[in-house]
Structure 1
Amino acid sequence: MRHIIDQFHQHYYDSLVWQNTKWLGVQILKMPLDLMIYQEIIYEVQPDLIIESGTFNGGSTLFFASMLDLIGKGRVVSIDVAPQADLPVHPRITYIRGSSTDGEVIRQVNAMRNPGDVVLVNLDSDHSAPHVLSELRVYSHFVTAGSYLIVEDTNVHGHPVLPNHGPGPMEALDTFLQENDRFAVDESRHKFFVTFNPRGYLRKIK
């Protein structure tokens, strides 16, 4: 079964159809099955603030804002060192230009958080293991109990795609979980079998 799933995953990834997927006309570099999982998480968690690292052209940022429209609450702050031009404009979205691990950027994000806010974090910027691990260590402190820290593209470096990528999000995730017992992989988020984020849905349990 695992072999069949990995074969489909590899075929889907290599087809590049995920690069021709749009949300409200804006390119969104996500697997649609993962978008369904995000929708479920947002409805269940009811976040007041979604922190996204890795804006690129803003497709997922707009998706998050649209989901917040549906639940009638919440804001999105999206961070990118080099965002694309003509990003989507939406009253729930704030963009920050800079590295997600830069001290000033972290201070700006922290200033957006109100006391009592439910916070959800989605990491999708530089996919090198050292950078993702730094993000995990910083942004895990923003996530509220019962909410999620989502690590995207844990499928690279042979998990099962791009075997020559080099240590990336999955390797950073493994290190993080060894040193932090406040998060656990939510296996229920793998119910569609194929995901670009294997083991990447972390629920804060304490």
Structure 2
Amino acid sequence: MGSNAHQDVLDAFHRLYYDLRERTRENNSWLGVKIWKCPLDLWVYQELLYRVRPDLVVETGTYKGGSAYFMAGIFDLMGYGRVLTVDVDEDGDRPEHDRIEYVTGSSLDPAVLAQVREEAARNKTVLVILDSDHHCDHVLAELREYSGIVTPGSYLIVEDTNINGHPVRAEYGPGPREAVDIFLADARDFVPDAACEKFLLTWNAGGYLRRVGRPAGR
């Protein structure tokens, strides 16, 4: 089977998985907490957490707190690490965990940005995950504001690059994938890491961005 045929099969499965949302993407949990992530991406996340060993993960887009809870559990196993997660909505049902700090507000609000930068400055290694408003202008603004706190050798992950026809939700309009393309045209210190797409099905294709440079030692 040629490469084009492989891609056609992969795209068809991707769309099927995405469209059967009540069975697949909207029917997942981590230790009882709803989590809206592709399980294969979560596996990659735990590999990155172990390899990069960030002291702090900054996440925009908390939703029910499932991904923050997942990463906090991985940090429990590793013995260190914290998650600072930002969302415009407050939700009292999110899981409590000593390694999670919830911040309520827009990820682009100056007060929120100041809090995030202050916290990041206290940590040696920082990894960032962007998963809030998926419109291109918002994601691009996040990329420009949050890229500076990512430490060399760590990652800036842009989620849901699959929307706007890549290959799902063709009707969405410019989103994360388009924002990444614009960002990378000027950002010389970030490169996509295709190795993070090894399971073929990912919601973040082209969005695993590694900051080049020498990783911080521990």
1:77 matched to 2:84? The reply is yes
SS of structure 1 residue aligned to 2:25: helix
Instruction: State the Cα distance separating 1:85 from its structure 2 match.
Output: 3.0
Out of 65, 71, 93, which is 1:58 matched to? 65
Q: Which runs of 5+ in 1 are unaligned?
A: none
Q: Which residue of 1 aligns with 2:193?
A: 186
| Correspondences of 1:1-206 after superposition (within 5 Å) | 1-16=6-21, 17-115=24-122, 117-206=124-213
CA contact (8 A) 1:57 1:85 kept: no
Root-mean-square deviation (Å)? 0.9
Q: Is this contact kept in 1: 2:56–2:123, CA < 8 A?
A: no
CA radius of gyration, larger in: 2
For 1:179, the aligned partner's letter is D
1:145 to partner: Cα distance: 0.3
2: CA distance, partners of 1:161 / 1:100: 25
Q: Distance in 2 between matches of 1:116 and 1:57?
A: 26
Q: Percent identity?
A: 51
Distance 1:99 1:116 in 2: 22
What is the rounded CA distance, in whole Å, between the counterparts of 1:70 and 1:176 in structure 2? 34
- The TM-score normalised by the length of structure 2 is 0.92
Q: Which 5+ residue runs of structure 2 have no aligned equivalent?
A: 1-5, 214-218
Q: 2:86 touches 2:107 (CA, 8 Å); kept in 1?
A: yes
Aligned with 2:41: secondary structure?
helix
Query: Judging changes above 3 Å, is the alpha-carbon distance between structure 1 residues 57 and 46 closer, same or farther for their aligned structure 2 residues?
Result: same
Task: Give SS of 1:79's match.
Answer: strand
Contact 1:56 1:83 in 2 (8 A): no
Moved over 3 A (4+): none
Size of the aligned set, in residue pairs, is 206
